[in-house]
């Protein structure tokens, strides 16, 4: 973290009056802060922003229930048909499963609320209640973005592991879900195993993963139990959730994913019920109706999950995307995307269910100004709307096709600022007391730089960028005119040079003996 600019350089008359304030501030900033007094931290409550009126929320809810009763969902697997019909759903002559309103309402009463997504490090647990906000990664990028050469290359298992190691060391990224596809692993089962282990080896934060085939679940759980220290330890604190695309919009179940979901729930794994329609393509063009479809699909998921195991932990993953209607291409960094995500967060609150959606996607191919405004707008609105789990918040470019390691570093700063917005303004008797003003204005130094109040609050109420540059032009010139990307590259390399494997050596050795693991566990520097 760079030192604060010396304001005396731009306000010369004040310099003589500061009486050591700068030195005091520098000393204070060098002292570590306890987690509970940091200016931002995981799980700060949001919910200040509400793009939907109360009447709008009720209308979307009613339309979603009507869609489930009148349209229903097709293509449930035989096991799902049995579970859902025994719970009270109705299979029509057309094969579609329809959901009576009373069934949905009953399942909402037993659905899990106020859940905790455990991490291997308990200090990193995510408490999904109310409007608590958490930012993290997700996605299935097939390319790594090199912002220096401007090249896109196929992503590897090593890249996924390196991304996890970076996230492990970035305070404002609260969880790690699979960011990219291991394109160097051609066998799908080995790819699932490497995706899971690369994530776990890289970070002790909560991990999200997915499975490309139901037959891969058993071996992945064998690996999980090895990392956890046995099945019982896993069940006590399940530290991996399943990102499950259980539906194929519009209004169809994804058969294999549903079978995977059934298996994972019975093995104690929390579930992200992910509905990822694209407005104007696989979801309706109106933003409100897109939310209706996503809500209806996820309500069907709530019924499904609780038919398997009442009260099983699940995240209401309304995750709709936006199309650029001129071309049909996805537009994840648009204002419409920000509105969609915020509206979905409002529906999560209406149901009082833990919720997740996409934020922070950039359509830009590089970590440039376009990426900055797209990631800033979508992440800010998601947090201010009180979204519990903001997925794809950092690193994603080219509408999810590319992932950039340097963007994790830049995104950590961006998310710190965003979380400061989420925290809002603390209005208390102390923060509105006139005592500090009297001390400064009535015979005092005429500035607040060295006041006790300033020193007290500078670290607990204000957040400072790690790579963002706040130098004066003079300082910047004297420092060699550092470029933001170069600073991000340097920080990335410094982290990777020190961040080792987060699985104990003997367990790592046993896993590598049992499974074909593609990435190295030794320390490496990206560039």
The total of other beta-carbon atoms located within 10 Å of residue 15's CB is: 12
Q: What is the pTM of this model?
A: 0.92
**Nearest CA-CA partner of 131 in 389, 386, 420:** 386
Residue 524, pLDDT score: 52
Low-confidence ranges of the chain (pLDDT < 50): 1-20, 525-527
Tell me how far apart the alpha carbons of residues 92 and 30 are, in angstroms, rounded to a whole number: 67
At what angle are helices 369-384 and 405-423 packed, to 10 degrees?
40
3-state helix, strand, coil in the chain (%, to 5): 45, 15, 40
pLDDT tens, 141-164?
999 999 999 999 999 999 999 999
Q: Which domains does the chain carry? A: 108-423 (3.20.20.480)
Residue 435, pLDDT score: 92
Pairing verdict, β 389-391 and 356-358: parallel
Q: Are 210 and 180 in contact (CB under 8 A)?
A: no
Residue 451, pLDDT score: 86
Beta-sheet strand order (sheet of 402-403):
151-154, 143-146, 402-403, 396-397
H/E/C letters for each residue in 182-212? CCCCCCHHHHHHHHHHHHHHHCCCEEEECCC
CA-atom Rg of the chain in angstroms: 24
Residue 26, pLDDT score: 62
Residue 35 half-sphere exposure, CB side, CA atoms within 13 Å? Answer: 8
Q: Are 429 and 359 in contact (CB under 8 A)?
A: no
DSSP assignment of 99-132 equals --HHHHHHHHHHS--SEEE--SSGGG-EEE-TTB
Q: Are 129 and 354 in contact (CB under 8 A)?
A: yes
Residue 319's alpha-carbon distances to 42, 84, 207, 343, 390, in angstroms, are 21, 23, 18, 11, 10
Q: Are 297 and 275 in contact (CB under 8 A)?
A: yes
Tell me how far apart the alpha carbons of residues 507 and 229 are, in angstroms, rounded to a whole number: 9
3-state secondary structure of 314: strand
pLDDT tens, 469-520?
999 999 999 999 999 999 999 999 999 999 999 999 999 999 999 999 999 9
Q: What is the dihedral of CA 463, 465, 471, 475, to 10 degrees?
A: 120
Report residue 360 as tokens: 């922070």
Task: Give the Cα-Cα-Cα angle 247, 145, 336 (nearest 5 degrees).
Answer: 45
**Nearest CA-CA partner of 284 in 237, 252, 249, 258:** 249
Tell me how far apart the alpha carbons of residues 364 and 374 are, in angstroms, rounded to a whole number: 9
The total of other beta-carbon atoms located within 10 Å of residue 126's CB is: 22
The total of other beta-carbon atoms located within 10 Å of residue 241's CB is: 27
Tell me how far apart the alpha carbons of residues 339 and 342 are, in angstroms, rounded to a whole number: 5
Tell me how far apart the alpha carbons of residues 97 and 519 are, in angstroms, rounded to a whole number: 43
Tell me how far apart the alpha carbons of residues 95 and 73 are, in angstroms, rounded to a whole number: 9
């Amino acid at each position: 973290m760079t030192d604060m600019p010396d304001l005396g350089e731009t306000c010369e008359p004040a310099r003589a009056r500061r009486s050591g304030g700068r030195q005091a501030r520098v000393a204070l900033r060098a002292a570590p802060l306890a987690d509970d007094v940091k200016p931002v931290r995981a799980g700060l409550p949001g919910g200040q922003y509400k793009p939907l009126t109360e009447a709008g929320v009720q209308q979307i809810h009613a339309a979603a229930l009507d869609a489930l009763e009148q349209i229903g969902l097709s293509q449930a697997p035989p096991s799902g048909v049995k579970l859902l019909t025994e719970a009270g759903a109705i299979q029509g002559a057309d094969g579609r499963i329809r959901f009576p309103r009373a069934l949905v309402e009953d399942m909402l009463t037993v659905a899990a609320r106020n859940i905790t997504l455990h991490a291997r490090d308990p200090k990193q647990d995510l408490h999904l209640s109310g409007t608590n906000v958490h930012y993290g990664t997700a996605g299935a990028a097939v390319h790594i973005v090199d912002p220096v050469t401007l090249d896109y290359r196929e992503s590897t298992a090593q890249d996924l592991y390196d991304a996890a190691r970076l996230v492990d060391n970035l305070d404002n990224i609260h969880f790690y879900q699979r960011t990219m596809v291991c394109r160097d692993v051609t066998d799908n089962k080995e790819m699932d195993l490497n995706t899971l282990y690369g994530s776990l080896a890289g970070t002790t934060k909560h991990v999200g993963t997915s499975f490309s085939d139901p037959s891969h679940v058993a071996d992945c759980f064998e690996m999980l139990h090895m990392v956890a220290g046995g099945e019982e330890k896993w069940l006590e604190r399940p530290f991996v959730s399943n990102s499950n695309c259980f539906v194929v919009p519009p209004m169809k179940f994804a058969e294999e994913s549903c079978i995977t979901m059934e298996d994972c729930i019975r093995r104690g794994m929390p579930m992200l019920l992910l509905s990822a329609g694209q407005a104007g393509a696989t979801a309706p063009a109106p933003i409100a109706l897109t939310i209706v479809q996503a809500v209806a699909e996820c309500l069907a998921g709530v019924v499904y999950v609780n038919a398997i195991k009442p009260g099983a932990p699940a995240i209401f993953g309304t995750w709709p995307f936006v199309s650029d209607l001129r071309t049909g291409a996805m537009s994840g960094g648009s204002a419409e995307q920000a509105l969609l995500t915020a509206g979905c967060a409002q529906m999560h609150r209406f149901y009082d269910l833990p919720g997740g959606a996409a934020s922070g996607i950039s359509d830009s191919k590089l970590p440039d100004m376009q990426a900055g405004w797209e990631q800033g707008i979508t992440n800010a609105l998601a947090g201010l709307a009180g979204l519990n789990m903001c997925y794809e918040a950092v690193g994603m470019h080219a509408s999810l096709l590319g992932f950039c390691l340097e963007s994790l570093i830049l995104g950590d700063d961006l998310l710190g600022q965003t979380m400061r917005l989420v925290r809002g303004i603390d209005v208390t008797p102390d923060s509105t007391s006139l005592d500090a003003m009297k001390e400064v204005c009535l015979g005092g130094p005429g500035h607040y730089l060295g006041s006790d109040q300033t020193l007290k609050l500078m670290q607990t109420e204000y957040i400072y960028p790690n790579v963002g540059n706040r130098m004066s032009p003079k300082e910047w010139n004297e420092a060699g005119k550092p470029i933001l990307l170069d600073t991000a590259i340097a920080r990335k390399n410094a982290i990777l040079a020190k961040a080792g494997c987060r699985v104990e050596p003997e367990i790592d050795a046993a896993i590598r003996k049992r499974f074909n693991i593609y990435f190295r566990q030794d320390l490496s520097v990206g560039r």
